[in-house]
């Protein structure tokens, strides 16, 4: 889990507590230096945030070994794409957690796809009832509607909704992960749900 084998950096929390403004600034600076190829800064960033990133991965994939791999994949992407971080769009920790959440969801989807492939022969050689086929088609259309509606939300709303409803986190946990007051996190989730409902209503 800790390829650099070092203790967490002082002054930057690696627990579930929201980061202080000073700690958030420090993480942003570490990301900026990492984008310039500073390996020491990246090691410090890893030590300061890996436990929280790993905790999110465990919550999504439900397997410690898989979560470790997701964490490493997430930090590899952080190293490659650190220059894309924009402080005006959110905190460094929020950016890291978003990358981890996407990697974890991809891992779950990949596992589900593998499971479907394992049973494909049986499915292809079984007569499928017309109603089952219709239900599957309807579910696929509904999923597309949700994806299209989510794409129409703001980045902040979509991020909060994905953590709350796809990641299964409470409002307080979402606030902690995104370095937000609980009230702000609740507002983003509520506004996102209202906007999502309205967009899906238009699609009907």
Q: Write the DSSP assignment of 139-181 as a string of letters.
A: HHHHHHHHHHHHHTS-HHHHHHHIIIIIS---HHHHHHHTT--
Q: How would residue 159 be classed by pLDDT, with cut points 50, 70 and 90? A: confident
pLDDT in tens, 27-66: 999 999 999 999 999 999 999 999 999 999 999 999 999 9
**Among residues 13, 15, 68, 72, which one has the least CA distance to residue 42?**
72
pLDDT in tens, 75-101: 999 999 999 999 888 889 999 999 999
The per-residue pLDDT of the chain, averaged, comes to: 76
**Taking the alpha carbons of 83, 58, 184, 186 in that order, is the dihedral positive or negative?**
positive
What is the reported pTM?
0.55
Q: How would residue 120 be classed by pLDDT, with cut points 50, 70 and 90? A: low
11-124: CATH topology is: Rna Polymerase Sigma Factor; Chain: A (1.10.1740)
Structure tokens at 27: 């993480």
Count CB neighbours of 193 within 10 A.
Answer: 16
pLDDT in tens, 140-150: 545 566 677 77
Contact 60, 165 (CB under 8 A): no
Q: Delimit the domains of the chain by residue range.
A: 11-124, 133-204
| CATH number for the domain formed by residue range(s) 133-204 | 1.10.10.10
> Is the pLDDT assigned to residue 130 strictly greater than 60?
no
Decide whether 11-124 matches 133-204 in CATH topology. no
- The SS3 call for residue 101 is helix
State how far the alpha carbon of 31 is from the alpha carbons of 13, 41, 133, 176, 200, in Å: 16, 7, 48, 20, 37
């Amino acid at each position: 889990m800790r390829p650099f084998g070092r203790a967490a950096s002082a002054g930057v929390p690696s627990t579930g507590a929201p980061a202080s403004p000073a700690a958030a600034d420090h993480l942003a600076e570490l990301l900026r230096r990492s984008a310039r190829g500073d390996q020491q800064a990246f090691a410090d960033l890893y030590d300061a945030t890996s436990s929280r990133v790993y905790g999110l991965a465990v919550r999504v994939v439900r397997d410690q070994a898989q979560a470790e791999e997701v964490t490493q994949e997430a930090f590899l992407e952080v190293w490659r794409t650190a220059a894309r971080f924009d402080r005006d769009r959110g905190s460094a920790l929020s950016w890291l957690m978003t990358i981890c959440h996407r990697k974890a969801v991809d891992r779950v989807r990949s596992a589900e796809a593998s499971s479907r492939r394992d049973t494909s022969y049986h499915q292809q050689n079984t007569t499928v009832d017309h109603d089952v086929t219709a239900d599957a088609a309807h579910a696929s259309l509904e999923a597309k509607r949700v994806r299209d509606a989510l794409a129409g939300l703001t980045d902040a709303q979509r991020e909060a909704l994905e953590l709350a409803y796809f990641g299964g986190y409470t409002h307080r946990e979402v606030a902690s992960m995104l370095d937000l007051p609980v009230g702000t996190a609740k507002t983003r989730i509520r506004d996102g749900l209202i906007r999502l409902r309205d967009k899906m209503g238009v699609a009907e």
